[in-house]
């Protein structure tokens, strides 16, 4: 063979190829094989050459891996898109079977598994399940050791490693070699990447050096994407605030403004439910007035109406102090919040954030977010957004209340709080339309207090106003909710009676009103006896329009006055002649 030269190689088909070979000790070697026809000692033969190219292939794989990881990071928009590809590419390039990435949970200060990838042929159900559930603190397990030292770590066989808590399961499902490295951004550790193999693996220092460089690449990528995400979130935050503010600038539709704003805020924060509760009955009753739910989340608004605030003592105490309610984990609420905890758990809420809503320094409700998927601390930006919404909604409620007060004052009497002439006329028109459409009887009652001027002159206007208020209360008690009692001015009141079957129904109510004056009025040391004179006109018997019905009831009332007061009279045409003669 030593005399073999190129002149011995015969023309013909030559063969060259590469293959991987597993040695008895489990070591994998890359081999290049060539085969050529030759003439040896005058005879035709085949020359086969084997060349160990393990080192060359290793270097090629390392370089290709670095390039592939760079491509993944360049083409990925978000971290969650890049991580699975990095795990898969690394395993396939290096011939490893299982990859996992661990991130630091700031809440628990422990590493938890974010993502795993493994060879499809690998059957490791128990190891995967435990990996997704387990967490590691610094120094514990392979991920924890890497976190503690901020350096790569290699384990030849995890089965015999005393600081690998998953060793029994790894042995059972056939995992042995392992290595891992930190994800670094400068000196800050962002997470840990770990790979495992079905074979026992001897340390590869060159590979660890390359993986440290890749860990730095991934760390820079994660930091850059976090900065981009924070910037986008800030822009979205400002857009949401601007949109919410614009809706309430012109408060034409309060309900729509609240509902749309809850939807904007809920989507931005990524919660399952956003809502507004408002108090009524002097803070004793609370209602869920507005709610937005993410897709797939069950609405609760229909179950949260007319709730006594007394059943939520812990919740209400916090709101009345002006503080926010931040519950990162519903299952860990304090014992004194047992009532609230029971309701929240029934709704499937995992974590919650709620802030009080004030209108002109008065607590009028609260606004909140529910997370129905995971527990966890709320970000400061989430709290800031809810603060802004609470202030905007509170201001809108105050404006709404002011507008309601102004509107009420425009249509109600300042002394008795009864409808005034304007509102009375409006309701009388509605009552006429209703009676005409349904062919029903209705009545207008004109009432004048007897001897009211004497009360005012002798006891003063203050007592006179008290008498008017009390009379208004007694009159309201004498009629149905569908009827209207109004103050016409001075000592005069007007009443609309609807849905009458017989004309005598009005007489029954009139006697009830007169009887309500039998009991004297007591204002401090002053005891006052009073009575009233009533006049009644009927639709359609007497008139078919509001102006004439009021006029004819007024005429009938004057006849009651002339006939001795403290009585009632129905209008009839003869009264016109009688009034004209007296005038």
pLDDT, tens digit (0-9, with 9 covering 90-100), for 138-154:
999 999 999 999 999 99
In a domain, 409, yes or no: no
| 508 lies in the same domain as 544 | yes
Residue 372 in this model has a pLDDT that exceeds 60: yes
| 478 lies in the same domain as 395 | no
Identify the three-state secondary structure at position 129.
Answer: helix
Query: What is the reported pLDDT for 150?
Result: 94
| 98 lies in the same domain as 221 | yes
Residue 581 in this model has a pLDDT that exceeds 80: no
Query: What is the reported pLDDT for 457?
Result: 86
Would you call 150 exposed, middle or buried from its count of C-beta atoms within 10 A (0-12, 13-18, 19+)? middle
| 265 lies in the same domain as 193 | no
Q: Of 251, 250, 249, 274, nearest to 264 (Cα)?
A: 274
In a domain, 196, yes or no: yes
Number of domains in the chain: 4
Domain boundary among 372, 403, 434: 403
Higher pLDDT, 96 or 107: 96
Query: What is the reported pLDDT for 226?
Result: 87
In a domain, 235, yes or no: no
In a domain, 233, yes or no: no
| 133 lies in the same domain as 197 | yes
Place of tokens 């509605």: 430
Residue 67 in this model has a pLDDT that exceeds 50: yes
Residue 254 in this model has a pLDDT that exceeds 70: yes
Q: Are 355 and 367 in contact (CB under 8 A)?
A: yes
Residue 47 in this model has a pLDDT that exceeds 50: yes
Query: What is the reported pLDDT for 579?
Result: 43
Mean pLDDT of 414-418: 93
| 351 lies in the same domain as 433 | no
Mean pLDDT of 434-447: 94
Determine how β-strand 568-570 pairs with β-strand 531-539: parallel
Residue 119 in this model has a pLDDT that exceeds 50: yes
Phi and psi based region of residue 554 (left: phi greater than 0; alpha: psi -120 to 50; beta: remaining): alpha
In a domain, 413, yes or no: no
| 438 lies in the same domain as 571 | yes
Least confident of 126-140, 261-275, 390-404, 509-523: 390-404
Residue 15 in this model has a pLDDT that exceeds 70: no
Mean pLDDT of 522-536: 92
Query: What is the reported pLDDT for 206?
Result: 87
Query: Which CATH number characterizes residue 199's domain?
Result: 3.30.450.40
In a domain, 234, yes or no: no
Residue 575 in this model has a pLDDT that exceeds 80: no
Helix (H) or strand (E) run with residue 142 in it: helix 141-149
Would you call 565 exposed, middle or buried from its count of C-beta atoms within 10 A (0-12, 13-18, 19+)? middle
In a domain, 241, yes or no: no
Query: What is the reported pLDDT for 1?
Result: 47
Mean of pLDDT over the chain: 88
| 369 lies in the same domain as 506 | no
Q: Reply yes or no: is the peptide bond before residue 155 cis, omega within 30 of 0.
A: no
Mean pLDDT of 60-72: 82
Query: What is the reported pLDDT for 583?
Result: 43
Residue-number span of the structural domain to which 371 is assigned: 250-403
| 61 lies in the same domain as 37 | no
DSSP class of residue 412? B
Query: What is the reported pLDDT for 242?
Result: 86
In a domain, 345, yes or no: yes
Backbone angles phi, psi at 494, to 5 degrees: -130, 145
| 384 lies in the same domain as 439 | no
| 454 lies in the same domain as 575 | yes
Cα–Cα dist 245/239, whole Å: 10
Domain boundary among 34, 52, 70: 52
| 194 lies in the same domain as 79 | yes
Place of tokens 């519950």: 327
CA 519 to chain centre: 56
Mean pLDDT of 100-117: 91
Indicate the pTM of the whole model: 0.58
Query: What is the reported pLDDT for 279?
Result: 93
Least confident of 196-205, 224-233, 460-469: 224-233
């Amino acid at each position: 063979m030593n005399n073999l030269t190129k002149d011995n190689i015969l023309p013909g088909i030559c063969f060259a190829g590469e293959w991987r070979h597993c040695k008895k000790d489990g070591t994998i070697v890359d081999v290049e094989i060539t085969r050529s026809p030759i003439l040896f000692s005058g005879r035709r033969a085949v020359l086969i050459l084997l060349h160990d190219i393990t080192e060359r292939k290793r270097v090629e794989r390392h370089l290709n891996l670095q390039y592939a990881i760079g491509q993944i990071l360049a083409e990925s928009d978000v971290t969650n898109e890049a991580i699975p590809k990095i795990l898969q590419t690394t395993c396939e390039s290096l011939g490893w079977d299982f990859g996992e990435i661990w991130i630091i949970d700031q809440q628990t200060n422990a590493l938890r598994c974010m993502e795993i990838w493994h060879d499809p042929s690998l059957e490791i159900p128990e190891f995967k399940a435990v990996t997704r559930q387990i967490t590691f603190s610094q120094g514990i397990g392979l991920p924890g050791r890497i976190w503690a030292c901020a350096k790569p770590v290699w384990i030849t066989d995890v089965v015999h490693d005393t600081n690998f808590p998953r060793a029994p399961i790894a042995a059972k499902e056939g995992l042995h070699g392992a290595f891992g490295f930190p994800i670094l951004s400068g000196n800050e550790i962002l997470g840990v990447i770990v790979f495992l193999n079905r074979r026992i693996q001897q340390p590869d220092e060159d590979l660890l050096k390359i993986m440290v460089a890749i860990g730095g690449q991934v760390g820079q990528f994660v930091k850059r994407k976090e900065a981009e995400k924070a910037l986008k979130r800030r822009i979205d935050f400002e857009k949401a605030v601007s949109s919410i503010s614009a809706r309430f600038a012109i408060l034409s539709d309060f309900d729509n403004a609240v509902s749309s704003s809850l939807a904007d805020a809920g989507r931005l924060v990524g919660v399952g439910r956003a809502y507004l509760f408002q108090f009524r009955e002097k803070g004793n009753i609370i209602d869920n007035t507005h709610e937005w739910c993410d897709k797939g989340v069950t609405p609760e608004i229909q179950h949260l109406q007319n709730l006594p605030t007394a059943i939520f003592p812990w919740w209400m105490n916090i709101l009345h102090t002006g503080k926010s309610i931040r519950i990162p984990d519903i299952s860990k609420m304090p014992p004194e919040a047992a009532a609230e905890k029971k309701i929240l758990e029934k709704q499937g809420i995992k974590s919650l954030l709620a802030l009080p809503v004030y209108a002109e320094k008065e607590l009028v409700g609260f606004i909140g977010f529910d997370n129905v998927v995971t527990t966890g601390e709320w970000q400061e930006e989430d709290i800031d957004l809810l603060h802004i919404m609470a202030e905007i909604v509170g201001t809108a409620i105050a404006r709404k209340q002011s507008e309601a007060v102004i509107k009420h004052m425009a249509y109600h009497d300042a002394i008795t709080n009864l409808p005034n002439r304007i509102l009375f006329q409006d309701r009388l028109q509605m009552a006429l339309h209703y009676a005409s459409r349904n062919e029903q009887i209705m009545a207008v009652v004109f009432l004048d207090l007897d001897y009211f001027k004497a009360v005012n002159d002798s006891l003063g206007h203050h007592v006179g106003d008290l008498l008017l208020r009390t009379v208004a209360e007694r009159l309201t008690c004498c009629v149905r909710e569908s009827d209207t009692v109004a103050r016409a001015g001075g000592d005069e009141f007007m009443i609309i009676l609807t849905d009458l079957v017989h004309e005598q129904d009005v007489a029954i109510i009139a006697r009830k009103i007169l009887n309500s004056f039998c009991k004297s009025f007591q204002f401090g040391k002053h005891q006052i006896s009073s009575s009233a004179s009533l006049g009644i006109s009927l639709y359609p018997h007497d008139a078919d329009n509001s102006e004439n019905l009021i006029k004819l009831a007024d005429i009938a009332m004057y006849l009651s006055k002339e006939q001795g007061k403290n009585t009632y009279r129905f209008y009839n045409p003869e009264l016109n002649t009688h009034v004209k003669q007296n005038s």
